[in-house]
Amino acid sequence: MASNTTPPLDLTAILKSLSSNIQDVMVSWYEVQTASLRESSQSGLLVAPLRKHLQAHWEHIRSYLQKCHEFGEEVIIWQKTFQQGPESDGFSLLEELKSSSDEMCQESEVLMRQSASGIDILSSVTPQLLDLLRGPSKYAEKAPSAPPETTAFLGLGSPQHGLAAIARTTSALAEVQNNLCMLHNFWTAASATCRSFLTTNTNITQQDATHLGQTWKEWQEEIRCANVSIAKSLDAGAVEPAAPPVSPPAPAPPFASHTYRRQQRRRGSSKSDASLPASLPRKMSGLDDDGVSRTCWGFSFRRK
């Protein structure tokens, strides 16, 4: 009987896949933005609409998952009421669960339409992005002069990397839409289960109620983890993309050369000066202890 009270789809697997795919979308689309901005500062007009849409879409999904978590609380209350209170109270709460699951079905449909809209936005700008990234590249002109390690770093924003990122974004968005479709199916099944208990003479046992309550406790934790993951993706998406440098900065002169020149000058000094301990090299304000320019250690993102 317990199998009849649990929707056939595994909510845990759906949630893990959803949060992973959302992360993939944000990472790959950020790479598209970085590569396109390197080729043209005007490309922000192409990439900004989807970026804005995704931020709002992920926020809506987080709100939706919070309602899923609240539904789990209702199930746990129903379980305790069914086991301890009169049967009529248990069925009254079951009617509320049926109503809540119907609302979740409707909201799932809204999310699916939002997801489809995001795919349409990407499709509308993809031809222009492909033309931009396949055209004459600033990267191709400057990268060969860079050291191998710098070339590897700059490759993260190269046109070739951007083209691959467009394909990954398209694929990940399709997977997100599939996850949302599965969530809709999940809630459709949950609603049907509640309706079955309300409209038939199906007997609900204590074992059934316990099993369903325990299952939803586990799902609540998975919902919480998914929401945390999506929140991190939202934070990452708030970072303003910036084009990486086309060519590496000029290397700072080795620290040893400064010391060597000072030593050369001292060779003409008096004998009494030579008996004094050599002064320590003066620390350059723009250098670290090993003499490497502080500006060479990385790059920063600009936030809105």
119-165 pLDDT, tens digit per residue, is 999 999 999 999 999 876 555 444 444 444 444 434 455 778 889 99
**Residue 7 gets which letter from DSSP?**
-
Q: How many percent of the chain have pLDDT more than 70?
A: 67
Domain ranges of the chain: 2-240, 255-303
CA distance 211 to 3: 9
> What average pLDDT does the segment 28-51 reach?
90
Please report which confidence band the pLDDT of residue 38 belongs to, taking 50, 70 and 90 as the band edges.
confident
- Closest Cα partner for 54 from 89, 78, 16, 28? 28
SS3 303: strand
> pLDDT grade, residue 264 (50/70/90)?
low
Mean pLDDT of 70-84: 90
DSSP state letter for 155: G
3-state secondary structure 49-118: HHHHHHHHHHHHHHHHHHHHHHHHHHHHHHHHHHHHCCHHHHHHHHHHHHHHHHHHHHHHHHHHHHHHHH
Are 294 and 287 within 8 A, CB to CB?
yes
Count of CB atoms within 10 A of residue 41's CB?
10
Tokens of 28: 């790959």
Q: Is the CB of residue 36 less than 8 Å from the CB of residue 133?
A: yes
Token code pair at residue 105 = 């079905």
